[in-house]
Each structure stands twice: as C-alpha cells, then as structure tokens.
Structure 1
Amino acid sequence: MNSNTLLDQTNEFVSSKQAIWQQIDELALEALYDELSLENKPGLVCPSGNGSHKDMNYHTFISSINSLRGYFSTLSQFGYENRPFDDLKNMGIYQEEKMREATNNINTHKGAIFNLGFVCAAIGRCIQAEIPLTAQNICEQLVERWQFDLTNRLEREPNSHGQQMFRKYGITGAIEMVSKGFEVIQSKVLPCFYNTVYRTQDFEKASMQALMTLISVLSDTNIVWRGGIKDLENAQVLAKQFLQEGGVHQLDWRQKVNNINQYFIRNNLSPGGSADLLAVTIFLYKVENEFNYPI
C-alpha cells in the first residue's frame, strides 16, 4: 500500500467519524427542541406559554439551544478518544458559560449540558468499542466509565438547589441519575415511550405520556425547591391519576393535561428535572432508531 492510498483511507476514516459526531449533535439538539415544543407541559415553558416561569420564555430556550450547537459533537468525540474525566467536566463548564451568555445569565439548559453531554460521551465510547448504539449499551458505558468519577471526584456546589434538597430531604439529583445509568429511563420511561408510539403512531402523545410517567415517579428537586415535599407528593398523585385513567389514550387527555398545568402554575411548580430526563429519553429513542446497527 503506497503512502497516498494510506492517506486517503485515513482522511476517509476521519471524515466518516466527523459526520457521525455531527449527526449525534443534531439529534441531541432535535431532542431539546422536541421537549421545548411539547405544548401544555405542566408548569414548563412551551411555544404558547411560560408555565410557572417569569424569567424565561420560548425564545430564551431557542437562544439557549442554539448556543449548544457543536457541544454534543465534541463530547461524543471526547468519549471516543477516552479523554480524562476533567476534560468532559471542563467542557461542560465552558458550555454553561456560553449558554448563560446567550440567555442573559438564565439557567435554561444546565441539566441538559450535564445529562446529554455524558450520554454523548458514552455514545463515543460505544462507537470506539464497536458496540451497537442501544440505550442499554450507552447507559452501561456511563456506569462503567464514569460512575466512580461522578460519585467521588465531581465537586458538589454546596449552595446549589440540588445539594440543599439533598441535605434537607435526602433527595438525590442529576449526578446520581447519570452515574447509575438513568435507571428510571431504562426501566420505565423509554419502554413507555416506545409503547405509546407503537399504539398511537403519535410522537406528541408518546412525549407527553413519558413526561407524565417521569413526574409520577421522579423526586424532582425543582418541584421541591419551589414548593416542598407535600407539593412533590401532590404532583406525583396528579400524574399517577392521569396515567391510571388512561393517560394520552383518553379522548379528553389534552384537557386533563391542561388542568394539571393550571394547578402547577397556580402553585408555582415546575418539574424541570422531569423535562431534562424527557429530553434524554427522546434522544435515546432517536439514537436507537438512527443507529440500529454496529458502527
């Protein structure tokens, strides 16, 4: 093999990987946009309203999503290259600064930067190991590669909402969720999403059913921070009742979701943690359906 042939093959390999990183980046951005675009989410920002939020709106989130372009591609490549944990952490910190510049210092996607960033790094690890890109394999890489670092090396901000809720109520947050490989998504939420898509052929219905499933089971620190433990319990009960009555398979499901939304707004509640995990669920769904073969 002459040097020109080797160089061509090397360039082709690099080019193909760059295309994959770009595709992953687009899917992550799409997932965030899909989550944002879901109308009438209880207490959350959507195209037609601000939910329980006075400091942010749909356009704030669009600006934030645009600021994230390229980040998920970078994290995928970092995972593929087996870069040190601190490289991933520092890139996340840098990206959060970019997000805050785009939103006038409003925290719109800190959770997404953390959650989806590590999911993309795990995708990179799967590609490096030539493991099929299934949600299970991706989440296994999270646990295998970064659980120790996330649990033992990542500094907690003592005054963050999450840490205050942990000290007061023992509720864990995003770090534990990622370090354990998104157990609730794997066991409950993604199967729910697939089942609803299969039954209804409706992406909106699947997204809302998944969101209500998350609200029903998640100890959402955002809800507790804005209200308290009793508010979390009430929110979970409302979501469980909606699901037990048939969820999005009811004829009047939109009206019932709207009633829950109005309750959240009246009580200033926002399930931001559930929204973050809905974006992860949608992203994993997209990845599984886009890359349903070993790379």
Structure 2
Amino acid sequence: MQTQLLQLDTQLDIHVFADLIDQLAQEALLEEVGLNLKPGLVCPNSRGSHTDMDHELFLLSISALKGYFHDQFLYGYHAVDFENIRQRGLLAEQHMLTATHGINTHKGAIFNLGFSCAAIGKCVAENKAIEASEISKLLQLNWNHKLLHHLKRHQSNHGQQMREKYGITGAIEEVASGFITVREISLPCFKQTYMKTQSLELSAIQTLFSLMAHVQDTNIVWRGGLSSLLIVQDMAKDFLQAGGVLQLNWKQQVQQICDYFVQQHLSPGGSADLLGVTLFLYKVEYEFRNII
C-alpha cells in the first residue's frame, strides 16, 4: 500500500486533506483495474468479457476523474446539499464519457466513491474517527433517505430494469446502507487475507470472490439471467471453500473460471465496483490509523 501519512493539527489546510483523499481514491481504482485474473473483467492482460474497452481505456477514465473525489470530500466537509453532490457526480460522468468516447467505465465508481468521499469529509468536519464504521454511519445518517426516496431512477439503467423485473437491489441500496456488504463481507475478507499473505494481489482476488459469492450482481443478471447469477455465486463459494488464493494451484482454478465467464459473456461489474470501495476504505483506514 502506498502511504504518505498526513499529520493533522488544528491548522490543517483542508484542501491538502482533500487532495490526499483524491489520490487514495485514484490509487484504489488503479489497483483494482491493475489486477489480473478477474473473471470477465478488464485486466492489464485481458479485456475479459468486454469488446468495447481495455486496460488503457480504464487508465484514461481514471485520469479524467482527478479532482472529483477532492470536490466530493469538500462537499461533505462543508455540508453541501444532496443535489449538489449529485450534480458533481453527473459532471464527473461527463468527463469520464468524454475521455472514453462514450464508454461507461466508471459510473459505479463515481457514485460509490463519490459518496464515500463526502462521508469522509463529514467525518473530518465532525472530528470522527476516519474508519469504515464511522464512514458507514455518516453515509446512512446523511443520505439514506435521499438516496432511497428522492434519487431519480432511470428506466434505461440495466440495474434498475433488473430491480423491477426480479426485485434485485443494486448500487443505490448499497450506498444507502453505508456499504453493508463491504462492511460485513469484503473489508473483513481483505484484512484477514492481507494479514495472512501480506499480498495486495492475493487479498484483492480473494475479496473479489467473496463479493461474487454474495452480491446479487445486476451485471451478471443482465447478461445471463438469474440462473447465471446462481452459477456464479456457487463457483465463487466453491473456490473459497477450497481455500481460495491460499491454495497452491489457485491461479489455474481462477483461469478456468475466467474462461467460463468469457465463454458465457459474463462480467461481475457490481462486485468489481465494491472491490474498488473496499480497497479505498482499507487505504483510508491505513493512512489515518493514528489520527483523530
């Protein structure tokens, strides 16, 4: 993990803090897309199940988001209203789409990490510990109702269509819950695996599979239906129960799963988005572990 521990005092320049949060968010996204052996997902050496995007496009997209996370942190710190937070997210989407020539690479990250950064800003403003549990509490306290009852849901959105057809919840419900899946499943998995392996790669892959085993991934359902979701969850559970990345031949097993995903045109985009959140929150907790 890259660190540059920021020593805070009462004279802190809040913009320096915001810059660091922006950097950590970008690092988390770079680390997520930089992983190989992610079933169906874009990797440095594979397009996965995607014909319209590759690793280089993701790098351009992440670069286009520079400054966005800085702004959302400050919006949270200064208690800017929900609509302005939403509008800043829409502007970031425009920057992303311009950089990618209309390809949606990071819409989920813009939404998830944008509200995460706003919640961290709230933590700093209220002198709360900068850790996942407090970030989660402030997300729920400040934006749960607005997200669930006032955020417009677009009928053209694949996740919304799956919600209406199958009753599957998605990114909005996850953020409104304060990232309950990250808090209860993926972040503990990442920490436990990192303690055992001291490897970012191993910990991130194990965490991705823990998410695939539990998340009702609307990307999977959109591409393959509910039957594919159940197959994916079972494959992930079987891999984890056999030891996951702690097995000697884990790469061969994951490669077989990757081949299946490409053959079936499946991509666990929802799980990948939550992996990005997990990496970000872990980095934030580590960076500020001795502060406030």
Q: TM-score, normalised by structure 2?
A: 0.96
4+ residue stretches of structure 1 with deviation over 3 A? 12-15
* 2: CA distance, partners of 1:14 / 1:158: 47
The Cα shift of 1:152 comes to: 1.0
| Equivalent residues of 1:134, 1:287 under 8 A apart | yes
Determine helix, strand or coil for the equivalent of 1:227.
helix
Report Cα offsets for 1:170-195 as digits up to 9, x if no partner.
Answer: 00110000000111111111111000
Question: Which sits farther off after the overlay, 275-284 or 150-159?
Answer: 150-159
Deviation, 1:167, is 1.0
Q: What is the RMSD computed on CA atoms of the aligned residues?
A: 1.1
Give the total of aligned pairs: 284
Selected match of 2:79 from 82, 85, 92: 82
Could you give the per-residue CA deviations for residues 119-148 of structure 1, whole angstroms, max 9, x where no partner exists?
Answer: 000000000000010100001100000001
- Equivalent position to 1:45, from 22, 42, 47: 42
Q: Structure 2 regions of 5+ residues with no counterpart?
A: 1-8
* Residue of structure 2 aligned with 1:25, choices 4, 15, 22: 22
Q: CA deviation at 1:163?
A: 1.0
Q: Which amino acid aligns with 1:43?
A: G
Aligned-residue offset at 1:294? 3.9
Give the aligned partner of residue 69 of structure 2.
72
Structure 2: which amino acid aligns with 1:46?
Answer: C
For structure 1, the residue ranges without an aligned partner over 5 or more in a row are 1-11
SS in 2 for 1:105: coil
Checking the alignment, whether the CA contact within 8 Å between 1:132 and 1:293 is kept in structure 2 is no
Q: Is the 8 A contact 1:131 1:294 kept in 2?
A: no
Mapped contact 1:133–1:293 kept (Cα < 8 A): no
Counterpart selection for 1:110 from 93, 107, 110:
107
Amino acid at match of 2:220: I
1:140 and 2:137 matched: yes
1:91-170 matches, cutoff 5 A: 91-170=88-167
Secondary structure at 1:101 match in 2: helix
Instruction: Report the CA distance between 1:293 and its aligned residue.
Output: 3.4
User: 1 CA distance for matches of 2:56 and 2:197?
Assistant: 30
Residue aligning to 1:215: 212
Q: TM-score, normalised by structure 1?
A: 0.95
Distance 1:284 1:13 in 2: 24
- Find the partner of 1:261 among 258, 261, 271: 258
